[in-house]
Amino acid sequence: MKDSIDANDPSAEIAATCFGVHVPASPFLNETRIRRMNEGRYEGEEIQGALDVVQPGDRVLELGAGLGVVGAVIAKNAHPDAVLSFEANPNLIPHIKTLHRLNGLEDVMEVRHQVVTAGEDQPDHVTFHLRTSFLGSSLIQNERRRTTPVDVETVPYDQVINSFRPDVLIIDIEGGELELLRHANLRGIRAIVLEFHPDAYGKAGTRECKAILRKANFTKNDELSTRFVWTCTRDEIWSHPDASWPDPTGGWSERMQTCENAIVKPSETNGFISLSGVQTAQGHDVPMAAHWRNRGRTTLPFGPLNETTEPLKGRWIWGGVLYRNFAHFIAESLGRLWALDTVQGDIDGILFTPRRTGVPLSLKSFQRDMFDVLGVNVPIKVIDTPHSVEQLIVPGQGFGLGAIIAGTASFRQYRENNFAKDITADGGERLYISRSKLSLERGGLLGEEQIEQHLSAQGYEIFHPQQHPIPAQIARYKAAKHVIACEGSALHLMAFCGIADQRVAMIARRKSKATTMITRHIESFTGTAPFVISHLKSVWDHPDTSRGRMAMGEPEMAKIQASLVEAGLISPGKPWKELDPDDVQAVLKKRFKKAA
């Protein structure tokens, strides 16, 4: 960083000085702003928060540079290694660059005229609405104020994070922060300074922003924070680059870590979240060993153990949490097996801890079958007491529930290399995967037997997967060209078959994110998304639980028929008869309650 100002710079007329930063004259400065800068009150809450949390050597990502003053004050006073700023207003970019040049900050700071976006299917460009005052310009159109629209290039948040690897986020994007936080993976971020804009999204949006930060384990600094600006930090455990939900596009999900004399602790409770997982021999959490569902870490760091650990000799691969429920086993217990194709040398087996306490440590038959069809030829060991493992290889979670349902490239390649290589197709080309023979207590689709009669008449085999071992199920799925299924876990197993030319329709039986998970899984593993048929007249909740998977869906039969015809899975015919309300209640026995 240069210490002197270039007096020969034609832009060197200084209008104000803020925390040692010389601010060049520009059309965007008025007397009030100049006075506030000279008094150190311009964006004072953001600046004070940033100067408190930015440490020498940090990398700072600033979204919404404005005039560039906040970023420059950080660069000049907090001595970060780099500050990367993004600004959507094209009229501000030349003045920001002049400010950098005037203060000798060009080797530390960079500004880009782009909008950072997060989430799937983001556009290449977005419309930015310019107001007379740059402070009110925003991605959000305000119908009450005259604005000038401009087209601005976008850049994916993940791309910026992966290349720049920031420690601190400074966010002031005039209302765009809510949508960003909804989708952004805050991995590696130790501190955030964020300005809220309730005028753009209301009090509910502000509460949602704050809830997202809290869920990501950020704690507000009460002394530095106000209603509209938060300065928040989180412990090193959570700001570690690997302490964030798994990413199917890369990151820690595709890496491995080897721990000598690792401490493995099973859960001591049956709660969804538990203090369990893996520590190093020195007692440090191993974030890569954590189990994640969606954006939540379910196995949290544990403290020093009060009990003696049992030694386990040899070289083991960490398998993670072993579920005994079929659906969750398929979707959540297989995500680290990709390491079997990657680890060099002999291993003694794969090590799991049980999802629940007090359960048998032996494998169920479907678990043994699934490990077999995935080519696992080493022992599976399940432990329910703390162990000290001589050498534990920890692969990242390459598959699971959440965005990671798409699977990392390494996991998909492992599936391609190993899954069901010795199982040949066996069955007809038309298959209906049914839930009708499952207990009513497990949820399902009312009138499914009628759907089966219609489909049977069109040449579909009615298949009840729970009545067949895993290899037989796979053989049927490999043979089928047209598949219709009542939404359920059997479709996760079918997705593993990876049949690219299958035409698949899924009939939704509830309103649930599970439908989206299955859809993404099938699309990622086969290359083609299933037809999702969601025609429900009503959903009936189980009286004893709020779990959506126990609900019963009441279908609109004629609409389902029309959708199947449109998908090319059945031929047109006589309209399917709607369910009789009395028959519905007879099945439900007046115990289930209509969902809101």
User: pLDDT for 423-445, tens place per residue?
Assistant: 999 999 999 999 999 987 788 89
- Mean local confidence (pLDDT), 574-592: 87
Mean pLDDT of the chain: 92
* Cα separation, 126 vs 174, whole angstroms: 15
- At residue 143, the pLDDT reads 59
- DSSP character string of 97-111: HHHHHHTT-TTTEEE
* Cα separation, 285 vs 135, whole angstroms: 43
Query: Nearest 5°: phi and psi at 411?
Result: -70, -40
Percent with pLDDT over 70 in the chain:
95
pTM value surpassing 0.85: no
- Topology of domain 430-594, per CATH? Rossmann fold (3.40.50)
- At residue 244, the pLDDT reads 82
Enter the tokens of residue 84.
């990367």
* Cα separation, 266 vs 389, whole angstroms: 13
Per-residue model confidence as pLDDT tens digits over 484-504 = 999 999 999 999 999 999 999
Identical topology for domains 14-239 and 430-594: yes
Q: Where are the alpha helices (DSSP H) in 241-379?
A: 326-332, 365-373
Q: Which CATH number fits domain 14-239: 3.40.50.150, 2.60.120.10, 1.25.40.10, 3.70.10.10?
A: 3.40.50.150
Per-residue model confidence as pLDDT tens digits over 90-122 = 999 999 999 999 999 999 999 999 999 998 888
Per-residue model confidence as pLDDT tens digits over 542-551 = 777 766 677 8
Name the nearest CA neighbour of 180 among 333, 64, 48: 64
Confidence of residue 8 (pLDDT cuts 50, 70, 90): very low
Least confident interval from 98-107, 134-143, 529-538, 560-569: 134-143
Percent with pLDDT over 90 in the chain:
78
- Mean local confidence (pLDDT), 62-81: 96
Per-residue model confidence as pLDDT tens digits over 201-223 = 999 999 999 999 998 889 999 99
DSSP-derived letter for residue 550 is G
Tell me which residue has tokens 């809101």.
596
- At residue 135, the pLDDT reads 62
Rg from Cα positions in the chain: 28
Domain extents in the chain: 14-239, 251-418, 430-594
Work out whether the CA dihedral 238, 241, 243, 248 comes out positive or negative: positive
Q: Where are the alpha helices (DSSP H) in 22-92?
A: 31-38, 44-53, 69-77
Name the nearest CA neighbour of 334 among 263, 404, 403: 404
| Single-letter residue type at 554 | E
Confidence of residue 2 (pLDDT cuts 50, 70, 90): very low
Is the pLDDT at 11 greater than 70? The verdict is no
- At residue 134, the pLDDT reads 62
CA-based diameter of the chain, in Å? 89
- Mean local confidence (pLDDT), 495-521: 93
* Cα separation, 88 vs 114, whole angstroms: 6
Enter the tokens of residue 442.
């497990």
